[in-house]
């Protein structure tokens, strides 16, 4: 089985010259490699194809057969890296915490330690509440998609 750390090393090298960031790498027992990448401006199919081709060129099919899939994480996927928080600043997100609480609000700030949400008040006429959540208490954050 191809080691995830080796793939991540190749991807760090490949992405260092592009304005693309790595979200996640998964490798299963059948050597299927799934890579999720993104950009602040949004990822395109051409971006994914380019990274896929370059990564495939660094892996040796003669040593081990594998399947490779490079894509965006998807609109409804939970955030995995800080760059996703930065990309979605000033957008509506839903946050689930370890204590079971859930919040829906506008993402105002995100750093290494905390996330700041602007949550709508329960009553009309009240000002929005600024809610600071510790990153360690967050189970998942997702973009809230409204139609």
Assess whether pLDDT exceeds 90 at residue 28.
yes
Q: How high is the pLDDT of residue 79?
A: 97
Fold assignment, 82-143: SH3 type barrels. (2.30.30)
Assess whether pLDDT exceeds 90 at residue 123.
no
Q: Quick one: pLDDT band at residue 46, thresholds 50, 70, 90?
A: very high
Q: How high is the pLDDT of residue 2?
A: 87
**CA-based R_g, the chain, Å:** 18
Assess whether pLDDT exceeds 90 at residue 122.
no
The H or E element containing residue 145 is: none
- Which residue, among 145, 130, 144, 137, has the nearest Cα to 96 in the 3D structure? 137
Q: How high is the pLDDT of residue 53?
A: 97
User: Residues spanned by CATH 3.30.300.70 within the chain?
Assistant: 4-71
Q: What is the mean pLDDT of residues 53-71?
A: 94
Q: How high is the pLDDT of residue 61?
A: 86
Determine phi and psi for 35, rounding to 5 degrees. -120, 130
Q: How high is the pLDDT of residue 1?
A: 80
pLDDT digits (tens, 9 = 90+) for 89-112: 999 999 999 999 999 999 999 999
Count CB neighbours of 19 within 10 A.
Answer: 9
The runs of H, that is alpha helices, within 38-105 are 45-58, 82-87
User: Residues spanned by CATH 2.30.30.100 within the chain?
Assistant: 82-143
CATH 3.30.300.70 given to domain 4-71? yes
Q: What is the mean pLDDT of residues 50-69?
A: 94
Assess whether pLDDT exceeds 90 at residue 62.
no
Q: pTM for this structure?
A: 0.89
């Amino acid at each position: 089985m191809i080691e995830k750390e080796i793939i991540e090393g190749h991807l760090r090298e490949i992405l260092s010259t592009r304005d693309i960031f790595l979200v996640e790498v998964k490798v299963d027992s059948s050597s299927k490699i799934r890579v999720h990448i993104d950009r602040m401006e949004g990822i395109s199919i051409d971006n994914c194809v380019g990274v896929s081709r370059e990564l495939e060129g660094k892996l040796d099919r003669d040593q081990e057969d594998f399947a490779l899939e490079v894509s965006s994480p998807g609109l409804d996927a939970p955030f995995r890296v800080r760059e996703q928080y930065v990309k979605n600043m000033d957008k509506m997100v839903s946050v689930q915490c370890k204590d079971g609480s859930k919040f829906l609000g506008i993402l105002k700030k995100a750093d290494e330690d905390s996330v700041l949400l602007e949550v709508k008040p329960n009553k009309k006429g009240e000002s929005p509440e600024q809610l600071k959540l510790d990153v360690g208490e967050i189970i998942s954050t997702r973009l809230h998609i409204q139609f």
